[in-house]
Amino acid sequence: MHSRNYCARDISVTLSFRQHRTADPDIPGRPGDGWEGRLMTATSTITRHAQAPKAGSVVTPERYKQGLDSFKAWMDAIELNKENFQRHYDEWQPDADDIAAIKAAVDKHGVKALVLGEDWCPDVWRGLPTIARIGELTGMEIRYFKRDENKDIMSEFLKNGEFESIPVIVLYDRDHKYLGHWIERADKANAEMPALRSILAGVERDTPAWDEARKKYNAATWEYAEGWRDAEASELRALIEEALG
């Protein structure tokens, strides 16, 4: 029971063991309409090692190699929101210290990443370009997979054990040893969402006022985006440094 309208959807129903609830948002949008009018209310995205996948992961070295091998390949494979992906990619100015630290880990330990995403998800069009830039600046190998075509991979990295939240960035060393994974968005983004939500609060949907509020929300989200991208890089750096000691 999943919806293309959401990065993740929180529903109060009972699902079978083969299904999983998806979390966020409670303002539905339309796939590809460019709207980021979604209330982001999830808890921390920094993933704990307690949520590591069990032994026998479906992500073998061979499966890993089947992913798209570049941001360009990802862009060629998607249909929606290419302008948003490209804008986030082009506008981000990474912190030199974060890049240097991640590059050192790549050089010494062969750190590499797997990314799960979909082209209709705002968190993905913000988060995926950031890891793509990190990869290109550090020499990190990255493989990109579409979530809905790889549910067996997604099932190993559910947020809080039940939510199919994306993007997911999984980190490995050169021997394909799991280091950790990062889900959905930076803590900074979660903390700043209440201010953005206030733009839409109390506005009736499908009215001129709603359309105007939505435009303001989108513009404000882009203003916040630089800090969110920086926070993503910092969190990934911290995850790598913790895993490698």
N-to-C CA span, the chain: 40
Does residue 97 belong to any structural domain of this protein? yes
Binning the chain into helix, strand and coil, the percentages to the nearest 5 are: 45, 10, 45
Would 150 be classed as within a structural domain?
yes
- CATH code, domain carrying 102: 3.40.30.10
Q: Is position 75 within any domain?
A: yes
Low-confidence stretches of the chain (pLDDT < 70) are: 1-6, 8-52, 54
Q: Give the range of the structural domain holding residue 150, as residue numbers without chain letter.
A: 49-194+203-244
Is the CB of residue 147 less than 8 Å from the CB of residue 164?
yes
Whether residue 43 lies inside any domain: the answer is: no
Confirm whether 24 is domain-assigned: no
Q: How many domains does the chain have?
A: 1
| Residue 69 zone, left/alpha/beta (φ > 0; ψ -120 to 50; rest) | alpha
User: What pTM did the predictor assign?
Assistant: 0.83
Residue 11, token pair as written in the block: 């529903």
Task: Please indicate, yes or no, if residue 212 is contained in any of the structural domains.
Answer: yes
Give the pLDDT confidence score for residue 8 in this predicted structure.
61
Query: Looking at the domain assignment, is residue 77 inside a domain?
Result: yes
> Which residues, including other chains, have CB under 8 Å from residue 148's CB and lie 6 or more apart?
2, 4, 118
User: Does residue 67 lie within any of the structural domains?
Assistant: yes
pLDDT given at position 48: 45
Cα 40 to Cα 44: distance, rounded to the nearest angstrom: 11
